[in-house]
Structure 1
Amino acid sequence: MQYRRFGKTELKMPVFSCGGMRYQQSWTDMPLDEVEAANQANLEATIRRALELGVTHIETARGYGSSERQLGVLLPTLPRDELIVQTKIEPHADALVFRDQFEESLDRLGLEHVDLLGLHGVNNHEVYWHTIKPDGCLAMARRLQAEGKVRHVGFSTHASPDLVLDAVRTEAHGGFDYVNLHWYYIYQRNWPAVAAAAERDLGVFIISPADKGGRLYKPSERLVELCDPLHPLVMNCLFCLARPEVHTLSIGASCPSDFDLQMTALPMLDRAAELTGPIVERLDAAMRDAVGADVAERYLEGLPDWERTPGMMNLATILWLRGLALAYGMTEYGQMRYNLLGNGGHWFEGLNPSNCGDWDSEKLAKAVKDSPFADRIEGWILETNDLLGGAEVKRLSQS
């Protein structure tokens, strides 16, 4: 294993972390006596395999169902000073509720402290305010830190790039010590936040590069072709870790063997940029060929955010997924993400045209008037819905 300094925390962070959202018994909390013996055995085998590989960072969350309770059977039996344990708690309007939930999570884990406490899902301005307000959850997290129950405080986010950057830059209550965010080859919009985190010496943890980064454990044939001679998952690992600003990538392991493919990237890390450079050039060229060079470079220009778009459609996400499907054959991934629009709460905001009801072409044209592609966007929306949504779309003007 290779390790990197995790920003101002000074933790020796492995470049791969063990994420705790796939090996648990249930996505809802449940008593331990209802956990199947086989599931608990698999969880314990997964953690022990991680440690054998040098993956000393064990990451989970209160929101991951039975994950904390099941980990709490094993973690107290392991050498505590050899582990970096992180859990995450969603910010609440009442910071005392946040504290109570943290205390319960600490009890579930069977630990006296966690090394990293993440404020989970700082995804919109309301949750951000619950986090940074004078009597908010970040202030409470700092109190828990002063009490010795938390070593370092960060946040996780699926927010728009502007909000992520604001949160990285906040000075409220001393700011954050680290950030969990999305950044990988197919989604690079958060690079300004990664760069700002480096300027402020924050640890940078990349969320779900294998799954949200493109379901790379099950890549399309086109993606396999473009990434040759590397497996797309290995290529993405090297692409991310070629940047020293990135410290660790999450492996959301469901079983011990889920670490194997990513681990093959380790001997190549010292040549990461060299090995991925030609592949990135091919991927970039494939996108330009599929959608046009001007569109590949400028499709986000002039787009309103989803709250100011007719039907609250998330145009940035719709057009991004269109490009991935056309250039890389990532239809299955696109369908998964596209159909989260309208079903993902503040974790995946905005709607797609199948679930936003009737929408008015004239209003859409007015909303996107500043886009260099204003006259083409409606057609792209319909094309994407047909490709990824599969449901008939009726505009108000057609009814």
Structure 2
Amino acid sequence: MQYRQWGQTQQTLSVFSLGTMRYLADQAAALAVIKTALDFGANHIETAQAYGDSELILAQTLQTTINRQDIYITTKLLPVPNAQEFAARLDRSLQRLGVDYIDNVAIHGINTPEHLAWALEFCLPVLETAQAVGKIGAIGFSTHGSLALICQAIESRKFAFVNLHYNYFFQRHAPAIQLAQAFNMGVFIISPADKGGLLYQPSPQLRELCHPIHPLHLTYRFLLSQPGITTLSFGPAGPDEVPFPLEVADQTHPLTDAEKAAFWRIEDHLQATLGLERCHQCQACLPCPEEIAIPEILRLRNLTVGLGMEEYGTYRYQMLEKAGHWFPGRQGARCTDCGDCLPRCPSQLNIPALLRETHSQLRGPGRRRLWEGN
């Protein structure tokens, strides 16, 4: 396991951080996962008040299995427009974790301009007060928001770290990572295996193009080779899932020739398969009068048609119109053929036709998400 400085803090984090969202219900498995991850050298655990009983499970582990001084803990609190309520939420996390100090606290989900306004006016003063009296360490934010919003939050210079989505198949937030690095902020990459392409169960096409490197390891190496990224989230559901991702935990060097060649094969195959129908993710088609998530839908089409990643495409497409501000935008069937996007597309794509095609292919039944209940 390699370790990197967490931005301007005094913390040195393992380049893989244990995420706790996947073990909401199985306490025994959770305890085994935590112990195994720590045995492999992970020293950072990320939880959240919104992750069911994960804070309570982590508290039990601290009491029975591991030394508090051996790990850094990050928890996340949803933003609210009420300082008193936010302070109560912070106290609740301290109580649930059974600690008197939390190393890092992130405002969880600055996804809209309203959330950022709440964070700056109501939530940050609470966290700064807690920091001053020694209850918490670094203050940061997590986000599923737009690039512009992420950069605005970073430019406020109020945060020591940012948790965001970025991976080989979703590079839209690269400028935010560069900005965070310029401000000496810690950068935590959210779910590069799952949200990055279901890479623990890659499509046969993707596996063949990446051979002899596993697609999961390849995307991890893409991220680990970038010094501006501090740590990657990995979320095993059981202890048997811990070792495989961490096979590259000691590999933070620049990409090798073999790894570069695998990425070239992916790009060549995408271009050969998609041809003039490839969306290059320039975002010029936005805004859409119907609020359709055009670039994201066409990104999923690129991966489905070009790399056989239909399972991933269906999984992500089905989240549209179900996840609110966590995954904004409407599905392709909402297109009214207004033509507003067409003259703005530099690739001259027939966007309405591609939206309908993608909707037809990816609208199948999706899996239940955390927010959908039982």
Same fold (TM over 0.5): yes
Q: Which residue of 2 aligns with 1:89?
A: 77
Amino acid at match of 2:116: Y
Equivalent pair of 2:294/2:332 in contact (CA under 8 Å):
no
Q: Which residue of 2 aligns with 1:189?
A: 172
Amino acid at match of 1:151: G
Equivalent pair of 1:23/1:67 in contact (CA under 8 Å):
yes
Q: Distance in 2 between matches of 1:113 and 1:345?
A: 33
Q: Say which is worse superposed, 374-383 or 340-349, in terms of deviation.
A: 374-383
SS of 1:264's equivalent?
helix
Query: Of the candidates 315, 322, 327, which is equivalent to residue 343 of structure 1?
Result: 322
The question of 1:382 aligning with 2:356 is answered yes
Superposition map of 1:1-399 within 5 A: 1-25=1-25, 39-77=26-64, 78-133=66-121, 136-171=122-157, 175-270=158-253, 272-292=255-275, 295-297=278-280, 299-305=281-287, 309-354=288-333, 356=334, 359-361=335-337, 363=338, 365-373=339-347, 376-390=350-364
SS of 1:4's equivalent?
strand
Equivalent pair of 1:287/1:296 in contact (CA under 8 Å):
no
C-alpha change, 1:152 and 1:76, in structure 2 (3 Å) is: farther
**Could you list the per-position Cα deviations for residues 152-186 of structure 1 after superposition, in whole angstroms to 9, with x for gaps in the alignment?**
00110111111111111113xxx100011111100
SS of 2:117's equivalent?
helix
Q: CA deviation at 1:43?
A: 1.2
**Could you list the per-position Cα deviations for residues 336-364 of structure 1 after superposition, in whole angstroms to 9, with x for gaps in the alignment?**
1111110011100011034x4xx421x2x
Q: Distance in 1 between matches of 2:183 and 2:254?
A: 27
Equivalent pair of 1:178/1:204 in contact (CA under 8 Å):
yes
Gaps of 5+ in 1: 26-38, 392-399
Q: CA deviation at 1:293?
A: 6.3
**Could you list the per-position Cα deviations for residues 363-384 of structure 1 after superposition, in whole angstroms to 9, with x for gaps in the alignment?**
2x02443222456111111111
Q: Distance in 2 between matches of 1:303 and 1:18?
A: 37
Q: Say which is worse superposed, 374-383 or 195-204, in terms of deviation.
A: 374-383
Equivalent pair of 2:2/2:250 in contact (CA under 8 Å):
no
Q: Distance in 1 between matches of 2:342 and 2:329?
A: 16
* TM-score, normalised via structure 1 length: 0.87
Equivalent pair of 1:304/1:368 in contact (CA under 8 Å):
no
Q: Distance in 1 between matches of 2:290 and 2:197?
A: 27
Q: Which residue of 2 aligns with 1:33?
A: none
Amino acid at match of 2:40: L
Q: Say which is worse superposed, 276-285 or 204-213, in terms of deviation.
A: 276-285
Q: CA deviation at 1:272?
A: 3.4
SS of 1:270's equivalent?
coil
**Could you list the per-position Cα deviations for residues 202-226 of structure 1 after superposition, in whole angstroms to 9, with x for gaps in the alignment?**
0011000110010011110011011
Q: Distance in 2 between matches of 1:337 and 1:278?
A: 28
C-alpha change, 1:54 and 1:373, in structure 2 (3 Å) is: same
Equivalent pair of 1:24/1:67 in contact (CA under 8 Å):
yes
- After superposition, the CA RMSD in angstroms is 1.7
Q: Distance in 2 between matches of 1:375 and 1:14?
A: 43
C-alpha change, 1:293 and 1:205, in structure 2 (3 Å) is: farther
Q: Distance in 2 between matches of 1:368 and 1:169?
A: 33
What percent identity do the matched residue pairs reach? 36
Equivalent pair of 1:302/1:369 in contact (CA under 8 Å):
no
Q: CA deviation at 1:386?
A: 1.4
Q: Distance in 1 between matches of 2:221 and 2:132?
A: 37
* TM-score, normalised via structure 2 length: 0.93
Q: Which residue of 2 aligns with 1:32?
A: none
- Number of residue equivalences: 364
Amino acid at match of 1:360: T
Q: CA deviation at 1:266?
A: 3.0
Amino acid at match of 1:123: N
Q: Distance in 2 between matches of 1:342 and 1:3?
A: 39
C-alpha change, 1:24 and 1:65, in structure 2 (3 Å) is: same
Q: Distance in 2 between matches of 1:267 and 1:59?
A: 20
